[in-house]
Structure 1
Amino acid sequence: MFDGARRRVVSLWFPRLASDRALRARPVAGPFALTLRADNTNRIHCLNPEAERRGLYRGMAFSDARAYCPELLSRLADPMADRRFLTGLRRWATRYCPWVGIEGDDGLVLDITGAAHLAGGEEAMLGDLRQRLCRGGLTVRIGLGDTRGAAWALAHHGEGVAPPGEALAVLGPLPVAGLRLDADSVTALQRLGLRTIAQLAAAARAPLARRFGPGLLMRLDQALGTQPEEISPQAEPPHYGLRMNLPEPIGLQADVMAGTARLLARLCDKLNRQETGARVLCLTLRRIDSQSRHVELRLARPMRDPARILPLFARGIDEVDAGFGIDQLRLEATQVEPLPVEQISHAGPDRQGRVADLITRIGARIGLENVQRFLPADSHIPERSFIIAPAAFSRPETGWNIPCPRPLIIFPPEAIAASGPRPPRHFRWRRMRLTTLRATGPERIAPEWWLDDENWRSGMRDYWRLETTEGRRLWLFHTPQNPGWFVQGEFP
C-alpha cells in the first residue's frame, strides 16, 4: 500500500495557454482565436473567453467561425512558441518548490510536500500562485491533492483542494474523464452507467479489468493513492559559462589569452562530457571602470578542442581596448550543437576540420554568411541545378546526380546564326568563326510546368555537346518549338 497521505501535489492547468501567450504579446479587444491547419482545413486551435461566448469552440472550422462571428480576429498558432512559454513557466514555478514537471501541452505539476509552510501554508501558496498568474494575463485552474491524479482531476473538472486522506470523498462526484482516460474508455463507461469516479470505485474490479484492461484500474488507484506515481521534474539544461575574477587588472594580449585558455580548457571538458560542441562563443572582458568588451567567435562547425579554438580568439582580443585594466573574464558558449564521439581515422589528418578552421578565420573578417559554397539542387534545368549556401551552415555534397555531364562554366544563353535540328557545321560565336568537329546529343530537357520562367517560355530544349576544330568544347541547345540555336556553357 502506497502512503500518499503525507504527499501534496498541485496541478496547474492553463486552458487558454496559446491564446493567452499571443495576447500578452499583442493585446486585442473583442473575440480572438488562433488557427492551426489540420486535415487540410484551418481550424480554431485556441480562443479567448469572448470568442467562446459567441458560440465558437476548439476544432471548429475557421470559415464557419467567421460566418458565426464576422468580427473575429485571428492569428496563426505557434505550438513551438507555446512549448517554450510553458517551459519558462516551469522555471518560474520553481520559486515555490524544486520538483516541477510539465503536464501535457498546457499544464504543470508541482510536488509541494514539505514546501507549503515556506509560503504561509497551502491556502496562501495557492492564492499567491493564482494572483501572480492572473496578473500576468494567464487563465489558470488549480487542483491540490495527495496524488498527481487527484490534483489533475480537480484542476480539469473541479478546481479545488482535497484534504489529506479524503481523496475519494472529493473526487467521487467528478466524471470518470478526470482519471486521465482516453475518450473511447470514457464513452464505454458512460454507456455502462458508470459516470462518476465514486460509481467506478464502487463497481466490481474483476469485470472492469477484463473489459478495459489494467490501465483503467491503475488510473483509479493512482488518483486514490493506492498506487504510486512519480513526478519527474524536468532537468535544467546545462549551462556552458565560466567566469574568472582576477586579483590584479591585466591589459596585455598575452595575459588575456592565458586567462582565456584556462577558461576554454574547463569549458571544453564540460562540452566533452555532454557530447556537444560550441558553434558560438562569447568572451566578455570587464574593465575596472565597470564597462565590458565582448569578443564573439562564430565557428564554422561544432568544436570542443581548446587547442584549435584558442588561436581564433587572438584577432578579436587584439582589437579590445583594455582601458585601465581588465579584472574579470567570462567565457560562454551561447550556441551549442550535438557532437558525438567519432572514430579517428589513421589515414591522415582531418581535412574537414582544417577546412572548417579556414572558414572560421575568413568568416571572422568578412562574416560567416559571406563564405559560400555551391550545392546541387534537384532540378534538370541548368540554371536551377545548384544553390548557393553559406559554407558554415551546410555540408558539402558528393556531386550532382545528373544523367549527362554539365559544363563547369554556365552563362546566359547566347544566340548564334544557325538553322535545322542538327548542330551547324560552321557558325560564329563571340566574334570567332568555329567549325564543328564532333557533336554528342541530343539531351532533351522540358521546362518545369509548375514554375513560370521567362527564359523557358520558348518550350523544350535539345542540348548538344560540341567539340570544334579550334579547341572549344561548347554546350549548345536548340529550341524545336521556336526554332533557334544558343550557346549556354563551355567545357574545360
Structure 2
Amino acid sequence: MFDGINKRVVSMWFPRLASDRVLRARPVDGPFALTLKADNTERIYCLNRAAERVGLSRGMSFADARAFCPDLISQPARPDLDAPFLAVLRRWATRYCPWVGYEGADGLVLDVTGAVHLFGGEPGMLADMHARCARAGLELRLGLGETRGAAWARAHFGNPHSPLTELPVAALRIEDRMVTALQRLGLRRIGDLATAVRAPLARRFGPELMLRLDQALGHVSEPISPEGEPPHYATRMSLPEPIGLTEDVMGVTARLLIPLCDKLKAQEMGARRLCLTLRRVDQGRQQVELRLAAPMHDPNRILPLFVRGVGEVAAGFGIDQIRIEATLVEPLPAQQIGSRHSSPDQLNDLITRIGTRIGLENVQRFLPADSHIPERAFSIAPAAYSTPERGWSVRRSRPLCLFPPESISASGSQPPAQFRWRRMRLTTGRATGPERIAPEWWLPDDKWRSGVRDYWKVDTREGRRLWLFYTPQNPGWFVQGEFT
C-alpha cells in the first residue's frame, strides 16, 4: 500500500517459455528438451512436462538425460529468439493494462490498478489470462499482490492468493547462498524473517535482504517501468493521380527516403532490409525488397539500389500509394568523417548490387581460421554478414591455389628430380623444405589420420611452382597447391 492507493500487481511467469516457443511451431509427443552448452558441457536448458515426468530436470547434463530417457527429443536452445518472443507477449499483455514491464528473461509484471473491473474483477482477469495462454500452448503461472515482490513470490512459489508469510524465504528474490544461510538459522518462511530482529540480519547479510523483505511487504515502493514501443521506421504517400513510369516511382521513393533516413539518423540506426510496397488502383500490391550488405541511412546511396526492382514492377492501371519501411535495422553510430581512412561504402554498395541478383548469401569471403592444417586454415562466410579480418599469420608462404591432394609417381623422401602431374612431365629446378605438419588429433578427419606430412615448395624448370608433400608413414608423394 503506497500513498493510500490500493495497488494491484500481477506477475506473469512462463516457466517453459523456451520450449513452449519451439513446440508451438512443431508439437512433439513425448519428452522434449532444449540444450545449451555451459562450462564445456551440454546441459538441459528447458524441457516440457513429459520430460520432467521421466526424471529429467534443468541443468542436468545432456549425456545423463539421454541415458535416463533414450527417446528424448532435443534441439539446441536459442535464447536470442526467446527474447523477441517475450517482447511479443509483453505487447499482448497490454490488453490488460498499459503498464507492462519485463520480469527477468521469462516473465512479465503488470500494474493492473484500476483495470481489473474491465474483466469482471480479479478472478475474471486471471482466468482470462490462463485461458488465452492455454489456447496458445503456453504454460503460465500467475501471482497477485499489492507489491511487485509479493506478486512475484506467489507466481513462483505459490498461487495468486497464497499467504505471503507462509511462502519460503527464496520467494524474496535473493541469492541461493543467502537462502541456504537463512534456512540454517531456522528462518525458512517469510513470516519467520519478518518477526526476527532486523539489526543482526542486516549486519550479517547486508542491506539487500531487508530491502527485498520491505519491498515484498510494501514498506518500500518498487516501481514498474513499462517498456516503450520500439520506433517504427516507415513512411508512405498517397498520390492524387495514379503513376506508372519507373522515373515517377523512383521520384516518389526518393521523397519518402528522406524522412525515413532522417529518423534513422536521429536514432543512430541504419536500415539493413527495406521493403517498398506499391499499391495499384485495382487494390493489388507489389513489393520490392532490398537487402543491404551493411546498415545504411544515406538516401543518396539507397535510392539507386531500388532501380532494378522497381523496373520489374507491373504497374497495371497505375499506382496510387507507395510505402517504404525499414523491416530490419541495426545500430549505426555517427562517425567522424576524415580522409585518412578509406571508406568501405563502395564495397558494400557493390555487394548489395550483386546480392540483389544472386542473393546476399551467395556473395562470400574467406576468413582466416585458427588451424595449421591447410584445408582448415580458412572459413567461408557471407560477405554481407561478416567483417574482414587480418590476414593469416604463417611463418612460411602458402599457395593461393589449393586443391585436394593429387598423387604422383615418385619414391624416396626427397623431392623427385622428374615427375608427371596432370599429363605434364616436369623437372625439379629448386626445392625448399621440408615443413612438417602434424594432424590435429582432437578433431575427426579421415584424410589426416594417416599421420604427418612433409611439405616442399618445388620450382620446376617448366615454370610451375608447386606445393608437394610426402607421407613418411605410408610412403607417397602428392601435389596439393600451386603458387602464382
Q: TM-score, normalised by structure 2?
A: 0.87
* 1:126-170 residue CA offsets vs partner (Å, 9 max, x unmatched): 3322332333343333222221112222323342359xxxxxxx4
- Say if 2:459 is the partner of 1:460: no
Q: 2:470 aligns with which of 470, 478, 488?
A: 478
Q: What residue is the counterpart of 1:114 in the other structure?
A: 114
Distance across 1 between alignment mates of 2:244 and 2:266: 33
Residue 229 of structure 1: how far off its partner (Å) = 0.8
Q: What residue is the counterpart of 2:47 in the other structure?
A: 46
Q: What residue is the counterpart of 1:146 in the other structure?
A: 146
Name the SS of the counterpart of 1:300 in structure 2.
strand
Conserved? CA contact 2:243–2:318, under 8 Å: yes
Name the SS of the counterpart of 1:343 in structure 2.
coil
Conserved? CA contact 1:246–1:327, under 8 Å: yes
1:30-429 aligned within 5 A: 32-36=31-35, 40=41, 42-43=43-44, 45-48=46-49, 58-59=58-59, 74-76=73-75, 78=77, 80=79, 81-161=81-161, 170-347=163-340, 350=343, 352-429=344-421
Residue 426 of structure 1: how far off its partner (Å) = 4.4
- Say if 2:447 is the partner of 1:444: no
Count of aligned residue pairs for this structure pair: 481
Q: What residue is the counterpart of 1:166 in the other structure?
A: none
Distance across 2 between alignment mates of 1:34 and 1:463: 47
Structure 2 stretches lacking a partner, 5+ long: none
Q: Which moved more, 1:220-229 or 1:140-149?
A: 140-149
Distance across 1 between alignment mates of 2:407 and 2:451: 16
Structure 1 stretches lacking a partner, 5+ long: 163-169
Residue 19 of structure 1: how far off its partner (Å) = 4.7
Distance across 1 between alignment mates of 2:443 and 2:66: 33
Aligned-pair identity in percent equals 66
Q: Which moved more, 1:399-408 or 1:292-301?
A: 399-408
Name the SS of the counterpart of 2:166 in structure 1.
coil
Residue 33 of structure 1: how far off its partner (Å) = 4.6
Conserved? CA contact 1:380–1:445, under 8 Å: yes
Conserved? CA contact 1:45–1:77, under 8 Å: no
* 1:70-101 residue CA offsets vs partner (Å, 9 max, x unmatched): 69754346352444433222111011111111
Residue 319 of structure 1: how far off its partner (Å) = 1.0
The change in CA–CA distance for 1:490 and 1:86 in structure 2 (over 3 A counts) is closer
The change in CA–CA distance for 1:45 and 1:485 in structure 2 (over 3 A counts) is closer
The change in CA–CA distance for 1:266 and 1:194 in structure 2 (over 3 A counts) is same
Conserved? CA contact 1:281–1:333, under 8 Å: yes
Name the SS of the counterpart of 1:476 in structure 2.
strand
Distance across 1 between alignment mates of 2:87 and 2:421: 65
Distance across 1 between alignment mates of 2:291 and 2:328: 9
Q: Indicate the structure (1 or 2) with the bigger Cα radius of gyration.
A: 1
One-letter code of the match for 1:267?
Answer: L
Distance across 2 between alignment mates of 1:428 and 1:468: 12
Q: Which moved more, 1:359-368 or 1:323-332?
A: 359-368
Name the SS of the counterpart of 2:88 in structure 1.
helix
Name the SS of the counterpart of 2:240 in structure 1.
strand
Name the SS of the counterpart of 1:105 in structure 2.
coil
* 1:190-213 residue CA offsets vs partner (Å, 9 max, x unmatched): 333333333322222212211221
Residue 288 of structure 1: how far off its partner (Å) = 1.0
Q: What residue is the counterpart of 2:483 in the other structure?
A: 491
The change in CA–CA distance for 1:47 and 1:382 in structure 2 (over 3 A counts) is closer
Conserved? CA contact 1:421–1:480, under 8 Å: yes
Q: Which moved more, 1:330-339 or 1:12-21?
A: 12-21
One-letter code of the match for 2:102?
Answer: I
Conserved? CA contact 1:44–1:62, under 8 Å: no
Residue 358 of structure 1: how far off its partner (Å) = 1.4
Conserved? CA contact 1:5–1:146, under 8 Å: no
Conserved? CA contact 2:366–2:381, under 8 Å: yes
Name the SS of the counterpart of 2:129 in structure 1.
helix
Distance across 2 between alignment mates of 1:105 and 1:370: 35
The change in CA–CA distance for 1:139 and 1:457 in structure 2 (over 3 A counts) is closer
One-letter code of the match for 2:157?
Answer: H
